[in-house]
Amino acid sequence: MFLPTDLHTSRKSGRGADRRYYEVMVLTLELPDSIAQALSSPGETDLSRKALEALAIDGFREGKLSQYQVSQMLGMSRTETEDLLARQVDLYDYDPAELRLEADLLAASPGNKNHS
Q: Give per-residue burial for 18-38: e unless 16+ CB within 10 Å, then b.
A: eeeeeeeeeeeeeeeeeeeee
116 part of a folded domain: no
pTM for this model (two decimals)? 0.61
Total domain count, the chain? 1
Cα-trace Rg, the chain: 21
58 part of a folded domain: yes
54 part of a folded domain: yes
Torsion, Cα 44 74 13 40, to 10 degrees, reads -20
Q: Which domain holds residue 56?
A: 7-39+46-108
Q: Where are the alpha helices (H) located in the chain, listed in sequence order? A: 33-39, 47-61, 67-74, 78-88, 96-108
Q: List the chain pLDDT tens, one digit each, 116 residues.
A: 444 444 455 555 555 555 566 677 888 888 898 998 888 877 766 888 889 999 999 999 998 999 999 999 999 998 999 999 999 887 776 778 877 887 888 888 776 666 55
